[in-house]
Protein backbone atom coordinates (compact mmCIF):
# COMPACT_ATOMS: atom_id res chain seq x y z
CA UNK A 1 0.00 0.00 0.00
CA UNK A 2 2.84 2.40 0.80
CA UNK A 3 4.42 1.71 -2.58
CA UNK A 4 1.19 2.67 -4.35
CA UNK A 5 0.96 5.87 -2.33
CA UNK A 6 4.55 6.75 -3.23
CA UNK A 7 3.88 6.14 -6.93
CA UNK A 8 0.75 8.30 -6.81
CA UNK A 9 2.57 11.10 -5.01
CA UNK A 10 5.35 11.02 -7.59
CA UNK A 11 2.93 10.95 -10.53
CA UNK A 12 0.72 13.69 -9.08
CA UNK A 13 2.78 16.67 -10.23
CA UNK A 14 3.76 14.91 -13.44
CA UNK A 15 0.15 13.99 -14.16
CA UNK A 16 -1.02 17.55 -13.61
CA UNK A 17 1.71 18.83 -15.97
CA UNK A 18 0.62 16.31 -18.61
CA UNK A 19 -2.98 17.41 -18.19
CA UNK A 20 -1.93 21.06 -18.48
CA UNK A 21 0.05 20.22 -21.63
CA UNK A 22 -2.95 18.38 -23.10
CA UNK A 23 -5.31 21.26 -22.36
CA UNK A 24 -2.85 23.81 -23.75
CA UNK A 25 -2.47 21.67 -26.86
CA UNK A 26 -6.23 21.37 -27.31
CA UNK A 27 -6.77 25.11 -26.92
CA UNK A 28 -3.95 25.71 -29.39
CA UNK A 29 -5.53 23.33 -31.88
CA UNK A 30 -8.81 25.28 -31.71
CA UNK A 31 -6.99 28.60 -32.17
CA UNK A 32 -4.85 27.14 -34.97
CA UNK A 33 -7.82 25.83 -36.93
CA UNK A 34 -9.63 29.15 -36.63
CA UNK A 35 -6.59 31.21 -37.61
CA UNK A 36 -5.53 28.84 -40.43
CA UNK A 37 -8.95 29.06 -42.04
CA UNK A 38 -8.91 32.86 -41.70
CA UNK A 39 -5.40 33.08 -43.17
CA UNK A 40 -6.15 30.78 -46.11
CA UNK A 41 -9.39 32.60 -46.94
CA UNK A 42 -7.81 36.05 -46.74
CA UNK A 43 -4.81 35.07 -48.83
CA UNK A 44 -6.96 33.20 -51.36
CA UNK A 45 -9.15 36.29 -51.75
CA UNK A 46 -6.10 38.36 -52.63
CA UNK A 47 -5.06 40.15 -49.46
CA UNK A 48 -1.37 40.55 -48.80
CA UNK A 49 0.41 38.06 -46.59
CA UNK A 50 0.74 40.69 -43.85
CA UNK A 51 -2.98 41.50 -43.83
CA UNK A 52 -3.88 37.80 -43.90
CA UNK A 53 -1.52 37.20 -40.98
CA UNK A 54 -3.03 40.02 -38.92
CA UNK A 55 -6.60 38.87 -39.57
CA UNK A 56 -5.66 35.26 -38.76
CA UNK A 57 -3.82 36.34 -35.64
CA UNK A 58 -6.82 38.30 -34.36
CA UNK A 59 -9.22 35.44 -35.02
CA UNK A 60 -6.95 32.96 -33.22
CA UNK A 61 -5.68 35.07 -30.31
CA UNK A 62 -9.05 35.65 -28.70
CA UNK A 63 -10.14 31.99 -28.40
CA UNK A 64 -6.60 31.02 -27.45
CA UNK A 65 -6.51 33.43 -24.52
CA UNK A 66 -10.01 32.54 -23.31
CA UNK A 67 -9.39 28.80 -23.54
CA UNK A 68 -5.93 29.05 -21.99
CA UNK A 69 -7.14 31.21 -19.15
CA UNK A 70 -10.29 29.35 -18.25
CA UNK A 71 -9.62 25.79 -19.28
CA UNK A 72 -5.88 25.05 -19.48
CA UNK A 73 -4.49 27.02 -16.53
CA UNK A 74 -7.78 27.70 -14.75
CA UNK A 75 -6.84 31.19 -13.66
CA UNK A 76 -6.64 34.67 -15.04
CA UNK A 77 -3.33 35.52 -16.59
CA UNK A 78 -1.40 38.71 -16.84
CA UNK A 79 -2.55 40.49 -19.97
CA UNK A 80 0.63 42.46 -20.75
CA UNK A 81 3.00 39.45 -20.96
CA UNK A 82 0.33 37.56 -22.94
CA UNK A 83 0.00 40.45 -25.39
CA UNK A 84 3.78 40.71 -25.78
CA UNK A 85 4.11 36.98 -26.49
CA UNK A 86 1.28 36.78 -29.02
CA UNK A 87 2.24 40.04 -30.73
CA UNK A 88 5.80 38.74 -31.02
CA UNK A 89 4.38 35.56 -32.54
CA UNK A 90 2.29 37.59 -34.98
CA UNK A 91 5.27 39.68 -36.05
CA UNK A 92 7.33 36.53 -36.58
CA UNK A 93 4.51 34.97 -38.63
CA UNK A 94 4.12 38.16 -40.67
CA UNK A 95 7.83 38.19 -41.49
CA UNK A 96 7.85 34.51 -42.45
CA UNK A 97 4.69 34.67 -44.57
CA UNK A 98 5.83 37.85 -46.31
CA UNK A 99 9.17 36.24 -47.14
CA UNK A 100 7.41 33.11 -48.38
CA UNK A 101 5.01 35.24 -50.44
CA UNK A 102 7.98 36.87 -52.16
CA UNK A 103 9.59 33.48 -52.80
CA UNK A 104 6.50 32.01 -54.47
CA UNK A 105 5.80 34.90 -56.83
CA UNK A 106 7.28 32.91 -59.74
CA UNK A 107 4.68 30.17 -59.35
CA UNK A 108 1.74 30.54 -61.76
CA UNK A 109 -0.84 28.62 -59.72
CA UNK A 110 -2.64 30.77 -57.16
CA UNK A 111 -3.75 27.59 -55.39
CA UNK A 112 -0.13 26.45 -54.89
CA UNK A 113 0.89 29.90 -53.71
CA UNK A 114 -1.94 29.79 -51.15
CA UNK A 115 -0.91 26.32 -49.98
CA UNK A 116 2.76 27.29 -49.61
CA UNK A 117 2.21 30.63 -47.87
CA UNK A 118 -0.47 29.16 -45.61
CA UNK A 119 1.94 26.32 -44.82
CA UNK A 120 4.59 28.82 -43.79
CA UNK A 121 2.07 30.47 -41.46
CA UNK A 122 1.23 27.10 -39.92
CA UNK A 123 4.91 26.13 -39.67
CA UNK A 124 5.77 29.33 -37.85
CA UNK A 125 3.22 28.65 -35.16
CA UNK A 126 4.30 25.02 -35.03
CA UNK A 127 7.83 26.10 -34.20
CA UNK A 128 6.62 28.65 -31.64
CA UNK A 129 4.23 26.16 -29.97
CA UNK A 130 6.63 24.91 -27.27
CA UNK A 131 8.23 28.30 -26.67
CA UNK A 132 4.79 29.84 -26.11
CA UNK A 133 3.83 27.09 -23.66
CA UNK A 134 6.91 27.78 -21.55
CA UNK A 135 6.37 31.54 -21.65
CA UNK A 136 2.66 31.23 -20.84
CA UNK A 137 3.40 28.86 -17.98
CA UNK A 138 6.25 30.91 -16.50
CA UNK A 139 5.07 34.47 -17.18
CA UNK A 140 1.40 34.75 -18.07
CA UNK A 141 -0.34 32.10 -15.97
CA UNK A 142 2.32 31.54 -13.32
CA UNK A 143 1.05 30.75 -9.87
CA UNK A 144 1.63 33.66 -7.53
CA UNK A 145 4.59 33.14 -5.27
CA UNK A 146 3.68 32.14 -1.76
CA UNK A 147 3.97 35.02 0.61
CA UNK A 148 6.43 34.15 3.32
CA UNK A 149 5.77 35.02 6.89
CA UNK A 150 7.38 38.35 7.62
CA UNK A 151 10.52 38.16 9.66
CA UNK A 152 9.77 39.45 13.14
CA UNK A 153 11.43 42.70 13.88
CA UNK A 154 14.33 42.41 16.24
CA UNK A 155 13.73 44.28 19.40
CA UNK A 156 16.82 45.11 21.34
CA UNK A 157 16.75 43.53 24.71
CA UNK A 158 17.62 45.46 27.78
CA UNK A 159 20.47 43.68 29.55
Is residue 10 domain-resident? no
Tell me the average pLDDT across 8-12. Answer: 55
* Domain residue limits at 43: 22-140
Residue 102 has pLDDT above 50, yes or no: yes
118 pLDDT above the threshold of 50:
yes
pLDDT value at 33 more than 50: yes
Residue 93 resides in a domain: yes
For residue 24, pLDDT over 80 is answered with yes
In a domain, 77, yes or no: yes
Residue 26, in any domain of the structure: yes
Sequence-separated (6 or more) residues with CB below 8 Å from residue 103: none
> Is the pTM above the cut of 0.75?
no
Asked whether the beta carbons of 18 and 10 are under 8 A apart, the reply is no
Residue 3 lies in a domain: no
In a domain, 81, yes or no: yes
What gap in Å lies between CA 23 and CA 12, rounded to an integer? 16
Q: How confident is the model over 99-128, as a mean pLDDT?
A: 94
64 versus 157: which is more confidently predicted?
64
Residue 8 has pLDDT above 60, yes or no: no
* For range 52-62, the mean pLDDT: 91
Residue 105 lies in a domain: yes
98-115 average pLDDT score = 94
In a domain, 8, yes or no: no
For the chain, how many structural domains are there in total?
1
Amino acid sequence: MRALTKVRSRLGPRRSRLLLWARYSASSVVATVVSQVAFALCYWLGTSAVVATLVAWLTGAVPNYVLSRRWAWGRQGQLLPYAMIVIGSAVTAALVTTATDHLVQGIDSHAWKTVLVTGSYFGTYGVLFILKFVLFDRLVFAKPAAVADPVPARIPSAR
